[in-house]
Structure 1
Amino acid sequence: MTIVQSILLALVIGVVVTQVAHMCTTVYLHRALSHRALTVAKPVALVFRFLLWITTGIKPKEWVAVHRKHHAFTDTEGDPHSPVLLGWKRVQISNVKLYRDTAAQPETISRYAKDLPDDTWDKLFFGHHKTGLALGISILVIVFGPFVGLLAAAIHMNYYLAANAAVNALGHHFGRRPYENGATNLQWLALLTLGEGLHNNHHAAPSTARLAHRWYEVDPGWWIIRGMTFLRVATLRFDGVRLLPPARPSVTPTA
C-alpha cells in the first residue's frame, strides 16, 4: 500500500469512527439521556455506552449535566458555553475546557444529573475514560497498523471535537432562526453531526426526538431512531414535534 493509499484509508476510517461517535452522542447522550425524548432498551444502551467509551472517553452523566445546564441558562449568565457571553471563537477553540470546568463543579452533577448515578459498568469500565480511549486507539492500531491506526485516531479526534464545538459556537451565532430563540440552524453542520446542526429547532422542541421540522431539513440521527423504533429497541416520548410554549416561527429568520 502506498503512502497516499494509507492516508486515504486513514481518512475513511477516521470519518467512519467519528460518525459512530456522533451517532452515540446525538441519539443516546443528547436525545435519550439529556432530554428523555426516547427510551432505549438496556442492551442497546450498553452498546452505546461502550462505543462512547472507546471513541470519546465521555462520561455520560457529565455530558448530560453540562448540556442540561446549557438549556437552563441558554445564552445567559450560567450557560457553560455561550458564544453570546464568551464569543463564538473562544467557544469553538475552548469547548472541551468549558465542558470540563463545568463538569468539575460538584453542584453541576448533583443538580443536573442526579437521575444518572454510577452503576457497576461505570465503576469497572466506563468511568475510566483514559482506559476507553487507549482501548479504542489500540484496536485501530492492531487492525490497521500503527501508521493508519494512529492517523485515523487523530483524524477522528479533530473531526469530532471541532464538529461538536461548532454546534455550541456556530450554532448560537451563524445561521437561520425559524423559531424565536438564540440557537440557529446550519444544515451543513447537521449533515456532519447527524442532525445536531439543526440547533434552533432543538431549542424550540428539546423533548422531541426529531430535529428536522421542515420537509427540506435533513436529520440523519432521526433515521437511526426510526430504525430503532421499527426494531422495537427504542420508544419515542412524543410522536410529533412538541414545541415549548414560547417557541413559534419567527417573522424574519436571519441568514
Structure 2
Amino acid sequence: MVDTTAVPREPARRTISNPYLHRLQRRHFLLFDVAPIAGTAAALALIPVLPFGATEIGLLIGMWIVTGLGITVGYHRLFTHRTFTASPLTRTALAIAGSMAGQGGVVSWVAIHRRHHECSDREGDPHSPNLSGDGLRGVLRGLVHSHFLWMRRHEYPNIAHYAPDLLRDRRVVAVGRRYYTWVLVGLALPTVIGGLVHLSWTGAVSGLLWGGLVRIFVLEHIIWAINSFLHRWGTKPYDSRENSRNGGVFALLTFGESWHNNHHAFPESPTFGLQWYRLDPGFWLIRSLQAVGLVRDLKTPSADRIASKKVTA
C-alpha cells in the first residue's frame, strides 16, 4: 500500500501565462477592441454616403441594450457572483446575449472578474488603475492600462480554480465554446435588419457598422470606464477594502454598473443601487424575470447589513 500522505499535493495554479495564450489575447484585442474603433471611425466618415437615420439609431440602441444587459445581468450578476438563480433557458439566453457583446467567452470573463474581486487594487488585479505609480504620469499610465491596454497581454486566471461551477454547467460551457459564433450572430442581426429595411446592400453595411461595430465600441468603453475611472473617482458611501467608487450620474448608461462601490461592498447583491430610488436597469430586468418565474432566490442584503457597512464621517 502506498503512503500518499507523505506526498503533499501541489496547490492549483491561480494564473497561467504562456506564449500561446498571449497570442490568443492579442488576436482578441485586435478583433474586438481595436477593430470597433476603426469601424466607428468608418461609420462616422461614411454618414454622407450610407443610410443613417431611425433604423441605424434603433439598431445601435437595441443591440446595445440586449448585449449590455447580457453582460451586467448574465455575465456579472448571475454567472460571476451568483446573486440569483435562473432557469436553464434564462441562463442560456443571458450567456448568449453577453457573448454577443464581444468582451470574451463567458467562462473566461467570469474567471477574470472573480480574480479582480480577489485582488482588487492590489498586486494580481488584472486591470487596476492604481498600481502604476504616483503623480500625473502614474495616474495616466494606470488609467490607460485599466481602461484598454491590459487586454493585450495578461496572466490568464485558471478557470479550474476560479470558475469550477461553470465548468460543471454543460449549457454554459457549450455557449462558451461557440463564443465567436455568437459574436458573428450579434454582427449579422443588424446587418440583415438594415439590409431588409433599406432593401439595399448599403443598408446592410450601415446596419453592420451602427448595430455591430459602433455598438461594440460604445458598450466596451462604458464597461471599461467602470474598471478605470470608478476605481479612482466618485463617492464611497460603503466600506470596502479597495478603491471602488460610485458614479450615480451614469447609472442608466451603465445599466446600474456605475454603483460600483455598492457592488464591491455587497458583491452578493443582485441590486447594485441597493435602494429603490437609485436607477439600476439590470436589477429591473432581474425583477421582471422574477415576476414571470424565470429567476428566484435573489440574495438582496438586509437593511441592517447595508447600514452596518455605511461609512460614517
TM-score bracket for this pair, using the shorter chain length: 0.7 to 0.9
Cα 1:62–1:125 shift into 2, 3 Å: closer
Question: Does the CA-based 8 Å contact 1:19-1:193 persist in structure 2?
Answer: no
Confirm whether residue 84 of structure 1 aligns to residue 130 of structure 2.
yes
* C-alpha distance in structure 2 between counterparts of 1:215 and 1:52, whole Å: 25
Equivalence for 1:137: 187
Tell me whether 1:174 sits opposite 2:253 in the alignment.
no
Structure 1 residue aligned with 2:268: 207
**Aligned CA distance change for structure 1 residues 65 and 241 (closer, same or farther; 3 Å):** farther
Letter in 2 for 1:148: S
Q: For the aligned residues, what is the CA RMSD?
A: 2.6
Counterpart residue number, 2:30: none
Q: Deviations over 1:126-164 (max 9, x none)?
A: 413322222221222122122321222121111111011
Instruction: Output the amino acid matched with 2:92.
Output: L
Residue range with higher mean Cα deviation, 87-96 or 65-74: 87-96
- 1:26 equivalent to 2:72? Answer yes
After superposition, the Cα gap between the structure-2 partners of 1:116 and 1:147, relative to the gap in structure 1 and judged at 3 Å, is same
Q: Counterparts of 1:122 and 1:158 in 2: how far apart (Å)?
A: 25
| Number of equivalences | 246
The percent identity for this pair of structures is 27
Q: What TM-score do the two structures reach when normalised by structure 1?
A: 0.85
TM-score with structure 2 setting the length = 0.70
Listed as ranges, the gaps of 5+ residues in structure 1 are none
Q: Which amino acid aligns with 1:90?
A: H
Structure 2, gaps ≥5 residues long:
1-47, 133-141, 196-203
- 1:85-111 Cα distance to aligned partner (Å, 9 max, x none): 14123211225436xx34xx3x52121
- Give distance in 1, aligned partners of 2:146 and 2:173: 31
Runs of at least 4 residues of structure 1 off by over 6 A?
242-245
> For 1:125 and 1:35, how far apart are their aligned partners in 2?
19
Residue identity in the other structure for 1:59: G
- Matched AA of 2:149: S
Deviates more, 1:53-62 or 1:81-90: 53-62
Q: Which residue of 2 aligns with 1:40?
A: 86
Structure 2 distance, partners of 1:241, 1:191, is 24
Partner of 1:233: 294
Q: Which of structures 1 and 2 has the bigger CA Rg?
A: 2
**Does 2:99 correspond to 1:49?**
no
TM-aligned CA deviation for residue 7 of structure 1: 4.6
- Shift in Å at residue 32 of structure 1? 1.1
How far, CA to CA, are the matches of 1:197 and 1:236 in structure 2?
24
CA, structure 1 residues 9+136, in 2 after alignment: closer, same or farther (shift >3 Å)? same
CA distance in 2, matches of 1:61, 1:125: 9
Match of 1:97 in 2: 152
